[in-house]
Structure 1
């Protein structure tokens, strides 16, 4: 009988997981490490209503990708037409820089809004106006978030981005003619790893391959399990059918005196010992003993003659005994008493 091995689970899954791990850890799966620096922004101004100095500091800015990571400071200047063109994209944009006591020629920092043109264009416009740094505030839809800025080719000018609420707060003060002094400092270094596009494609292919292998293995496993279950069910069904057929076979009890399809086998009783048989046995024993005794005393010639005579006599006696036995057997068969 051929035995079929039952399929076991968990054969193809470890291989698929190993394939995915290999795809993630393979050379080139990781992209380059991206680092960026936060900026510490502090502002200082005199409140005209209370004549008190208001000072605030927070690590709320982010340095641009191409900006030197160093500090800068100066009075904040905004585009003169900030209500109509807050982005400062026009090449002839002029900036309003309020100065305390009307002093001029102090270092200043350009504050412009994001949008309207590229980061590089904004920085170059402010750099041509001799700004010591450029501060961009994010769009209103981004809330308090800042984003990376790419502005290669802008030289050594410091560029940072602040959130929209922070930028609008400073813009409102400058538009009111209040001189705001800003100091920019280097904040925390952040390292962020990201996966390149080529690595994403490689991982995606590996994942799809893993899914195909897993699906094919599952189909094979359930087919084998179905075949195994079917064979087991079939053998059990055959056994049940055999038992059912055997149970349905007719059972016939043959009674005494009833002739059935199978012929009755009659056992013949063993013949009882008769006096004749005993007599023949005794006679043969007596003759053998007499032959031995006479053979030892008589010569060879007389011994042979006497043996012939005894043999003839024995045959006659044996014939009589055989006749007696046959008569006794016939009497037994016919139910007559043996005389």
Structure 2
């Protein structure tokens, strides 16, 4: 019997994984790429208590989405009513710009808090006051983090965001009348990819398809394995049945010199034919005695006596058989039935 090759379960799993990888790497699986630039913020001021210049620089800012990615500098100015309105949302907001030695300074950089109005409104209020750049500091709940800013329609004014601790530090200095010079530089370019909603659906469908294919292959694999194991068990059962039948067959020994055919062998009913089974007919195993030449090597006294007894018995049996045959032949010649 030719056995079919059993399927490999790993084939279905590998195919499903390839399908999922194709879905993820497909052009439609990825959404638009979003890029943003960090800003290098440098501050410089003179400490009135020690009369020493304090200078710091860090890449802690983030450029707005619609801001030109270029540098800017100037003295920092804050809303005059910063205690009551640090956001600078009012259209008539005026800014306090401390200058060293009381001299007027231009250009200048507006520093305002996040909240109260949109990013665009804040930028336009400062731009009307001829600010060269606008710096927003984040809310206190965000800690040292910065977030993306959308402010389309604000022109070519530079807009960045800094963290809440950095913004409050500069705000406190300016409110005390300390002139703070800020320099803004372009930092590192960051690229961040987003997956669109359609891509998520596509990947989900691919994943579900992978699971269905894997499950189908596993079911098919174990069914074939069960059938294969059952066929092997059936073959062993048939062999055991055949051995049992052969063991029940009668054994008849034919001695040397014995005539006639064996007619008293018990016939066994043949079992029903089943696939893979072995049918056995009545078997007769004949064991012949060794050659007379070998028998002659036995002791002469016992051998002679046995030979005489067997010869006498054989003659008597042969005579009876000859008489029966003669009687049967005469009956057939006279047309009588044979008894």
TM-score by shorter chain over 0.5:
yes
In structure 2, the CA distance between the partners of 1:255 and 1:167, relative to structure 1 (3 Å rule), is farther
DSSP-derived class of the 2:41 partner: strand
**What CA deviation, in whole Å up to 9, does each residue of 1:1-23 have, x standing for no partner?**
46343232222223222222322
User: Would the alpha carbon gap of residues 159 and 258 (structure 1) be closer, same or farther in structure 2, given more than 3 Å must change?
Assistant: same
- Contact (CA 8 Å) 1:36, 1:190: kept in 2 or not? yes
Who is 1:117 aligned against?
A: 117
Q: Residue 280 of structure 1 contacts residue 321 of structure 1 at CA under 8 Å; is this kept in 2?
A: no
Between 63-72 and 255-264, report the one with greater CA deviation: 255-264
Name which of structure 1's ranges 269-278 and 181-190 shifts more when overlaid on structure 2.
Answer: 269-278
Distance 2:92 2:114 in 1: 18
Contact kept, 8 Å, 2:67 with 2:156, in 1: the verdict is: yes
Indicate conservation of the 8 Å contact 1:271/1:329, yes or no: no
Q: 1:44-89: CA deviations, max 9, x gaps?
A: 1110101111111112111111101111111112223333333223
1:54/1:191 Cα in 2 relative to 1: closer, same or farther (>3 Å)? same
Cα distance, 1:184 vs. partner?
Answer: 0.8
Instruction: Name the CA shift for 1:296/1:179 in 2 (closer, same or farther; >3 Å).
Output: closer
- Structure 2, unmatched stretches of 5+, are none
Between the aligned partners of 1:281 and 1:245, the Cα distance in structure 2 is: 10
CA contact (8 A) 2:245 2:280 kept: no
Shift of residue 155, structure 1, vs aligned partner: 0.6
Cα drift, residue 208 of structure 1: 2.2
C-alpha spacing 1:141/1:218, structure 2 compared with 1 (3 Å) = farther
Distance 1:259 1:266, change over 3 A: farther
Q: Secondary structure at the match of 1:117?
A: coil
Structure 1, 95-104 or 168-177: larger mean CA deviation: 95-104
1:236-281 per-residue CA deviation (whole Å, 9 max, x = no partner) reads 3444455567668899999999999986699999999999999999
Residues 23 and 206, structure 2, Cα contact 8 Å, conserved in 1: yes
Judging changes above 3 Å, is the alpha-carbon distance between structure 1 residues 248 and 35 closer, same or farther for their aligned structure 2 residues?
same
Task: Give TM-score, length-normalised by structure 1.
Answer: 0.68
TM-score by length of 2: 0.68
Q: Verify the 8 A CA contact 1:89 1:125 in the aligned structure 2.
A: yes
Change beyond 3 A, Cα 1:319–1:269: farther
For these two proteins, the number of residue pairs brought into alignment is 339
Q: Is the 8 A contact 1:77 1:95 kept in 2?
A: yes
Cα pair distance change 1:78/1:334, threshold 3 Å: same
Q: How does 1:73-84 map to 2 (within 5 A)?
A: 73-84=73-84
From the superposition, tell whether residues 35 and 253 of structure 1 become closer, same or farther in structure 2 (CA, over 3 Å).
same
Q: CA deviation at 1:100?
A: 2.1
- Quick check: 174-183 or 321-330, which moved more? 321-330
Q: CA deviation at 1:232?
A: 2.6
What does 1:178-217 align with in structure 2 at a 5 Å threshold?
A: 178-217=178-217
Pair 1:2–1:176, CA change in 2 (3 A): same
Deviation at 1:151, TM superposition (A): 1.1
Secondary structure in 2 matching 1:36:
strand
Q: Specify the alignment match of 1:268 in structure 2.
A: 268
Deviation at 1:214? Answer: 1.7
Query: What are the superposed Cα offsets for residues 281-322 of structure 1, whole Å, 9 maximum, x if unpaired?
Result: 999999999999999999999999999999999999999999
The correspondence of residues 91-106 of structure 1 with structure 2, limited to 5 A, is 91-104=91-104, 106=106
Residues 4 and 228, structure 1, Cα contact 8 Å, conserved in 2: no
**Is the alpha carbon distance of 1:330 and 1:84 closer, same or farther for their aligned partners in structure 2, counting shifts above 3 Å?**
same
Higher Cα radius of gyration? 1
Stretch deviating more after TM superposition (104-113 or 67-76): 104-113
Distance 1:89 1:243, change over 3 A: farther
Q: 117-126 or 1-10: which moved more?
A: 1-10
Judged with a 3 Å threshold, the aligned counterparts in structure 2 of structure 1 residues 102 and 153 are, in CA distance, closer, same or farther, namely same
CA distance in 1, matches of 2:114, 2:289: 149
Q: In the aligned structure 1, how far is the partner of 2:276 from the partner of 2:103?
A: 170
